[in-house]
Amino acid sequence: MKKSQPIIKAIALLIVTAVLIAGVVVFGNRKKNESSEANEDKLLEETAEPTSELAAETTIPTTEPTPEPTTEPTTTPTTEPTSEPTTEPTLEPTTEPTSEPTAEPTKEPEPTKAPYKKYEVKELTAADDAQAPIILNITKNPVLVKGNDFVLSKYISYADDVCRDVKLAVTGSVDTAVPGDYPLSLILRDDAGHETSASMNVTILAEAPEKKPGGGGGTVTKEQFGDFMANYKNENTMVGIDVSKWQDKIDFEKVAAAGCGFVMIRLGGYDDGSTYTDKFFKDNIKNAKAAGLKVGIYWHAEESSVEEVRNNVKYLLGVLDGEKLDLPVAYDWEDFSKFPSHKMSMYDLNACFEVFCDELEEAGYKACIYSSKNPLGYMWKNERNHPVWMAHYVKQSNYEGEYFMWQHSCTGRIDGINADVDLDVLYLDRTEV
């Protein structure tokens, strides 16, 4: 037993030695394997570095070829081209071109002017006659000296809405050779049978009455332009004048220096079947503009038909010769005391004015009507609401209709004019200058 112990120890020592050698071998191989794996990991990390930002969670062998074509081309073109073209081009065309063109046309009045429709002149008959003739003016008590002729038409004027030839029937007579009073009964009858009655008492004197010393007419107070301006000029008004040959030669520099802001100038007119040009028109419009005044013109009218109006507007435009105006062209028809002699109706008169407006509108000018207060109430219909220049010689007019300019006086005085002149108030909140 004792002899075998050394043998056993030797065998055990050999076994332990073998085990240790095997462990060393195994440990060495493991280190070698770990080292090679580490080298492979490092190599793979270096290879995957370019794609790590686009595919951080992707495994090494399969993402290397795939991410580069799929991620970079996909993300870069998708973000940059999509954001820039989509936002910038879309915003610019949508805001700028859309807002500017849309706002400007809305402010312009052209769309309103486009449907301008010319006045349709109709030929009316007795069936259209709706009212009796009206008396425009009448002298109830004419006085004549013995031997003078009595002409009834000088003392009465009348008109009808449709009838152009109102019949005047007179009951009674006047003997101008015998002094005394002669009562007359008058009846106006139109084609439709409507009647209006009136009366008149004519007095024939044996001789003319003696004139009283001093003329008996009294004195007319002249209104100085400075006072007129102080009373009527404010932030909503402009004060001015209207002129013709009756004011003779005018110094418009002095007129402007006095505070006058505008002037209505007579171009000419149509009297007794003939057109004429005011002899001072060319000088007046030239010098008024040079002095910085706003300018409009008026036409002294006596047309009896729309045909005359059309011909006369051609004449007017020829004289005007394209001059730019700041204010309208006024139609000034005032021959009411002789209205029956024109052989026209109230409808004809209004048609003349409407056609006058149409002809000027076609030539690029705006027209208005000039009239004193009373005829505006019974003669002028102004169906299309043209601007109105209203004459009423009072401190404050009680006219209730619409008007853009008021002729306040005919006895004004202003530096630069050596005569009476009409004074006018222009309402800036009722018109465009």
Do 130-205 and 223-430 have matching folds? no
Mean pLDDT of 128-156: 97
Residue among 343, 344, 353, 403 at smallest CA distance from 373: 403
The domain locations on the chain are: 50-89, 130-205, 223-430
Please state, in angstroms and rounded to a whole number, the distance separating the CA atoms of residues 162 and 166.
Answer: 10
Helix axes 306-320, 346-362, angle to 10 degrees: 30
pTM above 0.95, yes or no: no
Query: Please, which pLDDT band fits residue 60 given cuts at 50, 70 and 90?
Result: very low
Task: Answer whether residue 361 shows pLDDT above 80.
Answer: yes
Model confidence at 190, in pLDDT bands (50, 70, 90)?
very high
Q: Both ends of the chain: CA-CA distance in Å? A: 146
For residues 356-360, average pLDDT: 98
User: Alpha helix locations (H) across 196-247?
Assistant: 225-232
Fold of 223-430: TIM Barrel (3.20.20)
pLDDT tens-place string over residues 5-40: 556 665 666 665 555 555 544 445 454 444 444 444
Per-residue pLDDT, 22: 53
Evaluate whether the domain defined by 130-205 bears CATH number 1.10.10.10. no
What distance lies between CA 318 and its chain's CA centroid? Answer: 26
Bridge partners of 242? 264, 422
